[in-house]
Amino acid sequence: MPGFIKPQLATLKSKAPKGDQWLHEIKYDGYRIQVHVNGGRKKVYTRNGLDWTKRFSTIAGALDIPGQAIIDGEVVVVHEGRTNFSKLQAELAAGRQDRLVFYAFDLLWRDGDMRRLPQIGRKQALLDLLGENDIESPVLYSEHLTGDGQKVFEHAAKLNWEGVISKNASAPYRSERTEAWLKVKTVQREKFPVVGFVKDPTGVAALYLGKQEGKELVYMGKVGTGWSRTVSSQIRRQLDTVVSPKSKLTKPTRKPKATWVEPKFFADVEYRDITSEGLLRASSFKGLSRK
């Protein structure tokens, strides 16, 4: 039985593929792990090969399987009907495991190497393995759909899921980024009032953002990517016209490098999620407009 196996990774695409040869799974927003079972001894590795068996001991303990197996999957926390990375981080930081769920989506080893088998064969073997051994929560089998991947993706977007992973049903497992696995991510987009910025020599290094909630202007975090040097300079010239001596946020936020502004400009921002602290995650700037 081998040690840690480098994981197969998906290639990012703008649209999900069509055709019966593709299996479409939910893209989970969690930690990729690999569980090794060897005659009752268990190890859990991160995607980079770190031994995190203690952190995920509950999941390892639930995989009561005879013989040898290596299972690939994702650890998540489900919050309000979808996987939530911020909640997962909070659970791990607190040393808790009771909310962790392991979505198993591939079988790399079962008393022998499975990686040359087609994707659909590995998934069926995984489903059989979990079923025959009565494996239950916190270990769940990652279901898939076939057919029009874009329709699956559109449903995922409506449900605010992270996106979809489309896998070629006939492809073997390869420890690299491949076109046999394709990922399409959902993104959310919204306009937020700019409440401040961080200067750099020619423009802005970051924008501080707010959001109007009733009569309160609350802090939503910052955005620091998505502009060229030229656009950065243009943003700076516009924001320099509305500089304020103090923050306009309802609750002051300590930002020593901030230059505060009147909330007269709105940043158009794409983001992945809002964290448990109420801040934007994976944000990217798309444009600036006047109120």
Q: Which residues are catalytic?
A: 27
Residues in CB range of 234: below 8 A, 6 or more apart: 203, 288
Asked if the bond preceding 138 is cis, omega within 30° of 0, the reply is yes
Give 263-283 as a DSSP string. S-EEEEEEESEE-TTS-EES-
Provide the terminal-to-terminal Cα distance of the chain, rounded to the nearest Å. Answer: 62
